[in-house]
Structure 1
Amino acid sequence: MNNGRKSRSNLRLFVDFDSTITKSDTCTLIPQLLKNPEKNQAWEMVSNDFLKKYETILSKYEGNISMSNISDFLNEMDHVELFGVNSVEQNNLLEGLSKKDLEELPKKFHTELAPQCESLFELLYEFGKKKNIELCIISSNWSFDVIQSFIKQNVQKHVNTHLNIFSVDRINETLTNPEVIPTIPTQWSVENSSFPNIYIYTNDLQFNENGISTGKFSSKQCVTSMDKLMSLRHHLFISRDTSKTIYIGDSVNDLRCILETNGILYHPRNNEETTILSLFKRLGIPLSKLPQNAASSIQQVQTTLIPSPHFASNWEEITSSIRSELLVN
């Protein structure tokens, strides 16, 4: 990838995938594709062990979390996330899945965009090239194929143009477009970085020559909250620009990225006290309602010592805010 050129992007959007772009989690649907009932017990054991470890960490820090130990808390949560993925891999729980199975998952389970999320892609189609907006998805999902297929099924119809979807491997420094056969690593192109190009950082399964999963992962670059933060920083590094950057996510695994960029917590469950929402309260970090010029506001406070992330309960709020910023610049 070409690291030497200065980026021309006016706005760079980093967005979580599951339960942010999607209405519900798609990663948990992947095991349902398996046709091996013998693995059900193993799945149950791994899931129970993961949840026990997760709850143990939450209980440990209950009423005892602050900005002074938030890194310790997130590091321990990261270990739990790694435990989960490593357990899935060690038990070969995803062995036997085909690439075709994964590509058909969004259609099979009738997956949908989050409510009003189509407004984001309509905005990107309208302003993407003329305002140089770049979209990067950073996801802890287990499959690039699932994300790519979902975008083609649920996003393509909202934009009157072909979407160029790139898989970014920050570990091996490669950028590939799987639609191009053979899939040759591509150099970073500043001139062509804006939407309808979409860059995806995620994990992926290893497949044999017949396109069947071995049960192992070919990439585990985006499992933890630190992995997501490193992916965000990597993308900023290769484009040599940190201005006008917004991260949008909904979970504890997005917390580092939200704090790093003074980003947006997407929280559609207004009446439900989720783990991440209670974390912000306990940390004493105010979540301000998203103003109409949030993109600008985020950048203005990004260099301050106190994090000032925003809160949005729906995608229309986010899109309206971004649109207002684009219209004045």
Structure 2
Amino acid sequence: MMRLIFDFDSTITQADTIGDLAHAGIDFQRRHGHDLTSRWDHVVQAYTDDCKRYKDNYATKEEDRRSVLEEVEYLAGLESVEKASLARVEESGIFAGLEHRGLFQIGVDAIESRKVAMRDGFREVLDHAGRQGWTVGVISVNWSRSFIRGVLHHFGIPVIVANEISPDGKIHGPDSHGNALTNSAGKLRVLKSEFEASPQSPDYGGNYTRTLYFGDSSTDLECLLHDGGIIVSDEDDSSLIRTLRRLGYTVSHISARKAGDRSDFHWARNFREVLDSDFLDSATV
């Protein structure tokens, strides 16, 4: 038995959805007489500036980070940047007054209006997993689990782990202490605790061959390294692919996979390409 665990933004979906979620919040506030567009613009600019400052001032430059440990330490340091941004989002008030059912409906509306689009073949991968009796789940640093549930409401995914927005506009993490899920290390902790060691996991105690992870960005690095997986990317030079290659891993397109292929990782533009390969079935061997 195998687990298929998916990142959400730009993995299941074709593009990042945080902007769509934020603008839905702004529209909600506008209907109540408040235009918070400038506050959101400030949030975006401050985050961009913080990321650049962190990268520019980090002691070990990107091209010199050649080990997984060095890269993981760099990514861990970004937690302060992410938490500062979450605090600005809360202070902006763009989600104040939105309840979980409203966030769920925003997700439903986003997918039905095609503001948010799915990667081709996702439904078919889930169907394949169902026929094989495999577990599926989602781990995301997105701000709202209810929003994700709305986007994915047709798919019946049993376990979705993400942050959540409370009616007062604050963002809370999925653990018992409410710590926000923001980075690569946090996603790996969730993968181990919620899917591999939790009695609440649908396959807890069962026999499984591996956990196969699908992701697109640096927040997925440690989950991919944990037990393998597939990088989802439109091209073969995404930031995550470049990072893996810099760390010494070989990454090839999934169509190149054949008997004797020794690539450490494979990438695919969508889930249709994954299905057209023999990767899923051979990964259980």
TM-score by shorter chain over 0.5: yes
Higher helix fraction (1 or 2): 2
Aligned-residue identity in percent: 22
Match for 2:128 among 123, 145, 151? 123
Partner secondary structure for residue 127 of structure 2: helix
1:200-240 alpha-carbon deviations (Å, 9 max, x no partner): 1111112xxxxxx2111343442221111100011211225
Aligned to 2:240: 276
**Residue type of the alignment partner of 1:108:** D
Partner secondary structure for residue 246 of structure 1: strand
Matches within 5 A, 1:178-197: none
Alpha-carbon distance in structure 1 between the residues aligned to 2:226 and 2:160:
19
Alpha-carbon distance in structure 2 between the residues aligned to 1:323 and 1:285:
20
How many angstroms does 1:140 deviate by? 1.0
**Residue type of the alignment partner of 2:281:** S
Partner secondary structure for residue 52 of structure 2: helix
How many angstroms does 1:90 deviate by? 4.0
Aligned to 2:201: none
Unaligned runs of 5+ in 1: 1-9, 156-162, 166-197, 207-212, 302-306
Q: Which deviates the most, 273-282 or 226-235?
A: 273-282
CA contact (8 A) 2:96 2:168 kept: yes
Aligned to 1:233: 192
CA contact (8 A) 2:210 2:227 kept: no
Aligned to 2:152: 151
* RMSD of equivalent CA atoms: 3.0
Partner secondary structure for residue 69 of structure 1: helix
Aligned to 2:118: 113
How many angstroms does 1:38 deviate by? 4.0
Question: Does residue 97 of structure 2 align to residue 84 of structure 1?
Answer: no
Alpha-carbon distance in structure 1 between the residues aligned to 2:88 and 2:169:
11
Length-normalised TM-score, structure 1: 0.69
Call closer, same or farther: CA 1:14–1:200 in 2, change over 3 Å: same
CA contact (8 A) 1:229 1:257 kept: yes
Question: Does residue 48 of structure 2 align to residue 51 of structure 1?
Answer: yes
Question: Does residue 67 of structure 2 align to residue 62 of structure 1?
Answer: no
Unaligned runs of 5+ in 2: 174-178, 199-203
How many angstroms does 1:274 deviate by? 2.8
How many angstroms does 1:86 deviate by? 2.7
Question: Does residue 165 of structure 2 align to residue 205 of structure 1?
Answer: yes
How many angstroms does 1:14 deviate by? 0.9
CA contact (8 A) 1:292 1:322 kept: no
How many angstroms does 1:112 deviate by? 2.1
Aligned to 2:140: 139
Alpha-carbon distance in structure 2 between the residues aligned to 1:268 and 1:144:
25
Aligned to 1:257: 223
Partner secondary structure for residue 121 of structure 2: coil
Partner secondary structure for residue 215 of structure 1: coil
Alpha-carbon distance in structure 2 between the residues aligned to 1:313 and 1:293:
15
Aligned to 1:41: 38
Question: Does residue 168 of structure 2 align to residue 214 of structure 1?
Answer: yes
Alignment: residue pair count: 258
Partner secondary structure for residue 145 of structure 1: helix
Call closer, same or farther: CA 1:286–1:323 in 2, change over 3 Å: closer
Alpha-carbon distance in structure 1 between the residues aligned to 2:22 and 2:256:
41
Aligned to 2:176: none
Alpha-carbon distance in structure 2 between the residues aligned to 1:86 and 1:20:
26
**Residue type of the alignment partner of 1:43:** W
CA contact (8 A) 1:16 1:138 kept: yes
CA contact (8 A) 1:78 1:226 kept: no
Partner secondary structure for residue 152 of structure 1: coil
Aligned to 1:24: 15
Length-normalised TM-score, structure 2: 0.79
Partner secondary structure for residue 168 of structure 2: strand
